[in-house]
Amino acid sequence: MTETYEDRPRTGGDYEPLGAAQPAGQKENALRLRAGSATVEVAALAPDLFRVGAFFDGRPPEYASEAVAAPEGEPVPVSVHQRGEGLALSTPEAEARISLSPLRMSFADSSGRTFCADDPELGMGVVRGGSPAGDPVALYKRREEGERYFGCGERTSGLEKTGSYQVFWNVDPPAGHTAAFNNLYTSIPFLLSLRGGRAYGLLFDNTRRVEFDLAREDPARIRLGAEGGDIVYYVFCGPTPRRVLERYTWLTGRTPMPPLWALGNQQSRWSYADEEEVRRISRAFRERDIPCDVLYLDIDYMDGYRVFTWDRDRFPDPRGLISELGEEGFRVVAIVDPGVKVDENYPVYTEGRENGFYCLTPGGEEYRNAVWPGVCAFPDFTSARVREWWGGNHRALLDEGVSGVWCDMNEPSLFIPEHSTMPPDVVHPGDGRPRLHGEVHNTYGSLMARAAREGLLGLRPGERPFVITRAGYAGLQRHALQWTGDNSSWWEHLWMAMPQLQNLGLSGVAFCGVDVGGFFGDCDGELLARFTEFGVLQPFCRNHSAKGTVPQEPWAFGEPYESVCRKMIKLRYRLLPYLYTLFEECHRTGAPILRPLLFEFPEDETTYAADDEFMLGGALLAAPITRPGIEHRHVYLPEGTWFHFWSGERFEGPAHILAHAPLGEPALYARANAALPLGPEKSHTGERPAEDSLTLLIHAAEGSGSSALYEDEGDGFAYREGVYARREISCRRAGGRITVRLGEREGSYDPGRREVVLDVRGIRGARRATVNGEERPLRLGEGRVAVALEERPGETVVEIEAT
């Protein structure tokens, strides 16, 4: 039943490429053509973004999609001109080139270099008679010599996708994800192409089952196909991965600013079964001085798994419990599944039925299948009315004090047969626009998450919603963060987490994480310690495990593992100012938080295969150990100077080195001259420190570098009105002279500190330091110097004479 093992395209039918076309008019930024019964449009939505639509058999153009947040684009000066036998639609940055007989397209940058060209023979077209559900469509592009592919959303295999076959169809796969699995819970039909350092992106926007053949069958072409519908695709011209992601997330929406607490350490279990257990866990964190901000309630908090209810035997007073936990500094997040138990005495169910909110069988009956509660009905999230109703139902959780919502099983995952999803002929009544499930399948998860986010915003308009989702479609980052579902407590899955999160980051989903320690199976001390060394560097850091497995909390395996987990989680808390700055960068520009090396060094092709290491922002490189019993591993350091985070040892890249990484000292490298804003080292036993200090840690080396610091109130939306503080930090070293410049503070937020400590390393000693020309006392340590500066809004220039 499950489709995860398929790795061959579903073929059949006769492929009919588009033939000759005639121009059929120009409307503002779009050019229309006709090719037989197909209407084809090319539009420039931004200077570096084109949209192509091919609508077959007389169907009118239609671009509305769950993927797209900015359907209209922005005003772009375009010109259309004759180009040889064909036409070109030009923007100030790029050009779509169209040959008319037959109709084929390619794109070119302002230097005339072409990319993303149609396959001359096959172009785009339909497969006649290929499927009873409608004619499949396909787009064939030429693969240039040396072109390599990345992205494709959530995957089990490595970072690079060249030569692979990818299926996009959301499923809840069976336990033990391996590289033989193709599709998982989310589908993001987005490709990032790189060739000799030049990037472009392509979003193939079709919410049915999609397949990509990325030069697997033929090394000189790729095939992007869907089981029906029309062809709509977007070309992001780049030329850097950063520019591609910026434009991609402009189109599909940016990751909203999360509340600051969402960056903290989080602890989950299927399930903490009653209030006593939840209290016990919360106390253990504080007693053991292990930081944690969020505890999870999995399905057992509900009354018979009825969503939006509480089991009053296990949780007699959720409000009291949650407020008590709040006093200790914990937030509570609760799970919500889409299946609504069919039960005449359950008002959520009967209300949904009376309003016609559920999906239907082709015969017009309520569609039912089994999930945790037994027989369930399933809300039709394609309807705005249903989403509003669903969102409002979260009141039952928020009223008790719950802070966030965890949307699970939303592929949707069904139990009959096991690991199945809805049949394609199930009907979504929509708001008067019924659609078959097969047409909208991949959006079900995103739309559920959207309902949750909008519900939370409506119920608590002053707070930033916190929503997690397992399933979704392109653009899901607008609604929720994504965790990657049910991994296993395997070393292989610790490795897999790296390419998995890098692929997601390259596909717009920057706020993501895997279950730390692994979900299925029994973890052990060493695996948990290594998993935590990696896990604390994830954008979303949550330890979670399945029923029936051994406990997996950070202290579960005793020493030395508990101390390693504590040290790593405390490191995450020190890194919070840096992480929060990265979230803001992501929110503003779409740059992934956990990013592949190729994002920072696209010119360096060695990085294209480096998927067992990654960058956290632009200033830290991490190379986790993912095998038991070893302390050494290979690390590739790209161009530039790097400093080992623990020892301060210095390396000149590009270099392949052997790192020594005993437990508790994961291989982390700081990039020279890029300041790392760090919070205080402190205890997490419950006492509140008087003031949170801030350190700017800089490893100085010949040359220059930059980073930033972003702060705001940590929740709410005042930052949109300018209540934030952002400053650029640059560092230049020329011989013994180090100049650190804290740019003027942008925004009106006052971080409320008196001082900032500049901690400069990579030197032997220092003779003198001035702050805006005034001499300051030095605190010298081995290989470092610290200088205290007062926190003030204006530009601050620090000059250090190093020895």
Instruction: Return residues touching ligand GLC (CB under 6 A).
Output: 270, 298-299, 335, 408, 470, 485-486, 544
Structure tokens given for 281 = 């866990």
Structure tokens given for 649 = 């040892």
Plot region of 558 (φ>0 → left; ψ -120 to 50 → alpha; else → beta): left
Least distance from C-beta 273 to ligand GLC, angstroms? 12
Instruction: Classify residue 414 as exposed, middle or buried by CB count within 10 Å of its CB (0-12, 13-18, 19+).
Output: buried
Of 91 and 265, the one with the shorter C-beta distance to ligand GLC is: 265
Q: What are phi and psi of 72, to 5 degrees?
A: -80, -20
Contacts of 783 (CB under 8 A, 6+ apart): 648, 761, 762, 763, 764
Written as one string, the DSSP assignment of 626-682 is: -STT--EEEEEEEEEEEEETTT--EEEEEEEEEEE--TT--EEEEETT--EEE----
The whole-angstrom separation of Cα 770 and Cα 305 is 64
Least distance from C-beta 296 to ligand GLC, angstroms? 9
Spot the catalytic one: 298, 486, 584, 611. Answer: 486
Q: Interhelix angle for 491-505 vs 525-535, to 10°?
A: 10
Least distance from C-beta 303 to ligand GLC, angstroms? 15
Of 63 and 490, the one with the shorter C-beta distance to ligand GLC is: 490
Spot the catalytic one: 119, 300, 411, 439. Answer: 411
Whose CA is closest to 236, among 226, 251, 256, 215?
Answer: 251
Least distance from C-beta 533 to ligand GLC, angstroms? 22
**Is 230 an active-site residue?**
no
Least distance from C-beta 519 to ligand GLC, angstroms? 6
Least distance from C-beta 335 to ligand GLC, angstroms? 6
Least distance from C-beta 455 to ligand GLC, angstroms? 20
Whose CA is closest to 599, among 3, 150, 128, 257?
Answer: 150
Distances (CA, A) of 712 to 256, 258, 588: 14, 11, 14
**Is 486 an active-site residue?**
yes
Q: How many CA atoms lie within 13 A of 489 on its CB side?
A: 22
Of 221 and 544, the one with the shorter C-beta distance to ligand GLC is: 544
| Helix (H), strand (E) at residue 709 | strand 703-712
Least distance from C-beta 495 to ligand GLC, angstroms? 20
Task: Give the number of other Cβ atoms within 10 Å of residue 419's Cβ.
Answer: 17
* CA quadruple 143, 144, 150, 156: dihedral, nearest 10: 50
Closest residue to ligand GLC in the complex (CB):
270
Distances (CA, A) of 547 to 285, 298, 419, 541, 552: 21, 10, 18, 20, 11
**Is 611 an active-site residue?**
no
Q: What are phi and psi of 382, to 5 degrees?
A: -70, -15
- On whether the CB atoms of residues 140 and 162 are closer than 8 A, the answer is no
Of 275 and 486, the one with the shorter C-beta distance to ligand GLC is: 486
Of 161 and 542, the one with the shorter C-beta distance to ligand GLC is: 542
Of 78 and 409, the one with the shorter C-beta distance to ligand GLC is: 409
Least distance from C-beta 342 to ligand GLC, angstroms? 19
Of 210 and 278, the one with the shorter C-beta distance to ligand GLC is: 278
Task: Give the number of other Cβ atoms within 10 Å of residue 290's Cβ.
Answer: 23
Contacts of 696 (CB under 8 A, 6+ apart): 675, 676, 677, 678, 709, 729, 740, 742, 756, 757, 758, 759
Spot the catalytic one: 118, 275, 380, 408. Answer: 408
Instruction: Classify residue 666 as exposed, middle or buried by CB count within 10 Å of its CB (0-12, 13-18, 19+).
Output: buried
Distances (CA, A) of 372 to 184, 193, 305, 337: 20, 41, 6, 9
Of 513 and 618, the one with the shorter C-beta distance to ligand GLC is: 513
Of 428 and 544, the one with the shorter C-beta distance to ligand GLC is: 544
Catalytic residues: 408, 411, 486
